[in-house]
A and B are shown apart, each in its own frame.
Chain A
Amino acid sequence: MLLLTCPHCGVTAEETEFAPGGQAHLRRAGPGASDEEFEAYMFLRDNPAGPHLERWRHAYGCGKWFLAARCTVTLRVLGTYPAQTAAPPDDIRRAIAGGQA
């Protein structure tokens, strides 16, 4: 059972209180995008065996979306951070680097 901390309300709870939302930091292709770019946005996903950046929603809590770094092999949650970021913050990057070492 995963334990996640919601960065909005600060609650730490089991995964049944949250809803997973897939890969984080996807960037929607613009109106002039090629078919390939739109395909990548819509369908192609990183599917790593290791640290994965992903979206979660505190569905049975404050209801807010947030992002998490989690290892898909050990299921260790390496950290959570607000969804209003274009890239993982430094402390999450460090946790990922530390988790891999």
Chain B
Amino acid sequence: MRKHHSAIALLREALSGHTGWPRAWASPLPRDRYRVIVVGAGGHGLATAYYLGRNHGITDVAVLEKGWLGGGNTGRNTTIIRSNYLQDPSAAIYEKSRELYEGLSQDLNYNVMFSPRGVMMLAQTEHEVRGYLRTERANYLQGVETRFISPAEVKKRVPIIRLDGPRYPVLGALWQARAGTARHDAVAWGYARACSAMGMHIIENCAVTGVRSEAGQVTGVETTRGPIGCDRLAIVVAGHSGRLAEMAGFRLPVESVALQALVSEPIKPCMDVVVMANTVHGYLSQSDKGEMVIGGGADGFNNYTQRGSWHHIEETVRALVETFPMLSRLKMLRQWGGIVDMTGDRSPIISPTPLGGCYINCGWGTGGFKAIPGSGWATAEMIAGDTPGPLAAPFGLDRFREGRFIDESVAAGVAH
């Protein structure tokens, strides 16, 4: 059913009224049993399934989704892709991910609209300047190309910015030229199409309600569409990881909170990079449609509401109007929230669990979108080899007990 996307295919369809495009992925009935079940058809879950097939030849895979494909945080983020983290394990997985994004459209034969437009993280206090200078040196040693730039260069790249804001003047910025954005839905759709073409089953509207095990080994899941057996189970459900972990009989060092974003009415092109202002809590890019895409702060308390507290919008918009005065007249079109899974060290968990054959990928917190390809790659490697590979190994659940934190509270301190 899969039709190869190409200029010729597009031309042929243009001449025949675009009636010949098939569904991008199939909608099969669940079988009784699969070798691997992935819970969660968001970016990370679908990427895990995709790399299980592509890298390890495992295609007897089902991806179960309680709602619709890509309808969770994959469809709710601000699409920023960057790899300018501080610690070596983070640099390894986020840079792997960024590299995979560069070739993802070709790899999937699906346009994910990766746009390496550059990400600029503003330094607006002396502490931030020192922090980013340190990150720049760390990135240099890690082989991640970043540069600390002057206020003059900030202004040159972002003419609409105000450097001498009333509270926090711009003192410089950490600039990653090869970072950028991608079309978030297309990432999920592209992976889903590629998984479906390999014969994997993507089953939407199928919520997992229980985990079956025998003698400490996972044997399958209970779902709203009946029990399904498996040899290996991957839990890749972001904000709802705690609930799945409870079903599988273990606890996680994770708390779920709502993180918000909003978009403005579309305007003419005015900013061709991504700007993050972490001190004043706001980040901004302009979508291809012209909307200003704005991300803000996370709630301070646990919740599952997918909307977030009202006063965080005010804080975010206030910060942005200080730094970008021209935005003050813009009308906002939409606001929404996603449930993000926060760990104590702001780094993810890619790990085996106390239940045999059951693996978990969670804890991406406020910044999971950028990590989708690398995360899927590392999780697939862990499931196929029954042990974490080099990318995943530092991100084990045991790091909290052993004190091996991967502290990214600066790089990920603000929602992004």
Contacts and interface: CB of A to CB of B under 8 A. Distances in A.
A73 B304 contact: yes
B156 interface: no
A45 B253 contact: yes
Interface string B140-166: 000000000000000000000000000
B400 A42 contact: yes
Interface in A15-52: 15-16, 19-20, 22-23, 35-36, 38-40, 42-49, 52
B401 A39 contact: yes
A15 B299 CA distance: 11
Nearest to A22: B255
B344 A1 contact: no
Nearest to A14: B311
Contact of A43 (B303, B305, B311, B400): B400
Interface residues of B, number: 23
A16 B311 contact: yes
Contacts of B240: 49
Contacts of B2: none
Interface string B386-416: 0000000000000011100000000000000
Contacts of B252: 44-45, 47
B309 interface: yes
B312 to A, nearest CB: 10
Nearest to B303: A72
A87 interface: no
Interface in A70-84: 70, 72-73, 75
Interface string B242-256: 110000000111111
Given A1-B310, A39-B401, A44 B251 contact: yes
Nearest to B312: A16
B300 interface: yes
Interface residues of A, number: 27
Given A44-B251, A47-B256, A20 B304 contact: no
Contact of B251 (A16, A40, A52, A72): A40
B338 to A, nearest CB: 15
Interface SS of A by simple majority: mixed
A69 to B, nearest CB: 12
B303 A45 contact: no
Contact of B302 (A19, A42, A43, A47): A47
Given A40-B251, A45-B254, A19 B304 contact: no
Interface in A46-95: 46-49, 52, 54, 70, 72-73, 75
A72 B308 CA distance: 11
A75 B303 contact: yes
Residue of A1, A43, A48 ringed by the most chain B CB atoms within 10 A: A43
Interface in B294-322: 300-305, 309-311
A47 B254 contact: yes
Contacts of A44: 251-253
A54 B301 contact: yes
B401 A35 contact: yes
Contacts of B305: 72-73, 75
A32 B321 CA distance: 53
B401 A72 contact: no
Contacts of A15: 309, 311
Contacts of A36: 401
24 contacts: A1-B310, A15-B309, A15-B311, A20-B300, A20-B301, A23-B255, A35-B401, A36-B401, A38-B401, A39-B400, A40-B251, A45-B254, A45-B255, A47-B242, A47-B255, A47-B256, A48-B242, A49-B240, A49-B242, A54-B302, A70-B301, A72-B256, A75-B303, A75-B305
Given A2-B301, A38-B401, 14 more contacts: A22-B255, A23-B255, A35-B402, A40-B251, A44-B251, A45-B253, A45-B254, A47-B241, A47-B242, A47-B302, A49-B240, A49-B304, A72-B305, A75-B305
Going nearest first, the 7 A-B pairs with the smallest beta carbon separation are A47-B242, A43-B253, A20-B301, A20-B300, A39-B401, A43-B400, A44-B251
